[in-house]
Amino acid sequence: MSSFVLLDTKKMMMNVDDQNNTDKILQFIEQNPGCHLRQIKRELKISMGTLQYHLNLLEKNGKITSDKHTLHRHYFPIGLFQDNEKNILKILNKETERDILMFIIECKNPTQTEIVDAIQISAPSVNWHINNLIQLGLLREERDGKFKRYVFSGNPNHIISLMKRYHTSIWDKWSGRLAEMFLSFSGDKSQ
């Protein structure tokens, strides 16, 4: 066999591998919208350079879109989500911010001290995460005397539907607590 035929065969095999990686990455993003670079790398066990190449290719070809928030770039399938849904999906992919957000929804307007005690991280860290959540439009700050209280400013149904559809393991963990929260919300409205 000539070296030309061997090189041609090797090139075709590389193209198949490239297409397999591209398809695998696209499928992962469709199943895990809002995922970030290191999360994709860790889950798919693809080298960073290969992953970045395929993400750029997918974005150039209009298959995905990305959005940078704080230290992470988050990836979404094109045209499926509104900005507020993207913001929720970003948070659902980050454990600490997700826990803070869920605690705020569950405890109805806690102070920073209450959040620190519940989440068990430092006050500066809680403050940093809360500012990120405020910046995304998911929380707002309200004054209560000398205290600041944090209020969820979105629709809890958005979180529930996105969690049920795209983050079933998180949904399984939170579903009982969420059911209790919504029962208490409906009880508050009748009073």
For the residues of 100-122, what is the DSSP string, one character each?
Answer: HHHHHHHHTS-BHHHHHHHHTS-
Q: Residue 11 — pLDDT band, cuts 50, 70, 90?
A: very low
Query: Which one has a higher pLDDT value, 80 or 75?
Result: 75
3-state secondary structure of 20: helix
Does the pTM of the predicted model rise above 0.75? no
DSSP-derived letter for residue 79 is T
Distance CA 43, CA 7 (A): 32
Query: Which one has a higher pLDDT value, 62 or 181?
Result: 62
CATH architecture of 3-80: Orthogonal Bundle (1.10)
Range(s) for CATH 1.10.10.10 in the chain?
A: 3-80, 85-190
Q: Give the model's pLDDT for residue 44.
A: 95
Q: Give the model's pLDDT for residue 190.
A: 43
**Triad 180, 168, 52: Cα angle to 5°:** 135
Backbone angles phi, psi at 167, to 5 degrees: -135, 65
- In angstroms, what CA-CA distances link 128 with 20, 120, 133, 137? 39, 14, 9, 15
> Does residue 32 register a pLDDT over 80?
yes
Query: Which one has a higher pLDDT value, 25 or 68?
Result: 25
Q: Give the model's pLDDT for residue 30.
A: 93
CATH architecture of 85-190: Orthogonal Bundle (1.10)
> Does residue 148 register a pLDDT over 50?
yes
